[in-house]
Amino acid sequence: MATAGCGDAEKRFTATGLNLIAGLDTPTAGSVQWPALEGPHPGGPTGIGMAFHGPSLLPSLDVTENVALPLLFAEKPHQEAMHHAHATLDLVEIGDLAAKLPDELSGGQAQRVAIARVPDSFRY
């Protein structure tokens, strides 16, 4: 892995480093340590969340359903996931957009929905 600050290599470090930190990739040598979490990366969901540059919202789901989706995949009860989604939308100040579809949102609004969708961005 290249170090930061060396042109194109910086992009490789950024992408590789973020993928390792998020658990999307595993190191080919060595390990990823989590001092705050006391130990090596467990390889699964952790206290770290990640939102990508593009919001990647599902077009057939409204804003609330898009935010609740990761919690539903994690087998949280539907009502609990929806309650958490509404509370998180209020935290990022877009609760009034809860029933909108992604194509009805501005780019900035869609990015806020993507941030709200990261399960660990706001403690469950």
- pLDDT at 17 exceeding the cut of 60: yes
- pLDDT at 69 exceeding the cut of 60: yes
Return phi, psi of residue 84, to 5°: -65, -40
The predicted structure's pLDDT at residue 31: 76
Is this model's pTM higher than 0.85 or not? no
Q: How confident is the model at residue 49 (pLDDT cuts 50, 70, 90)?
A: low
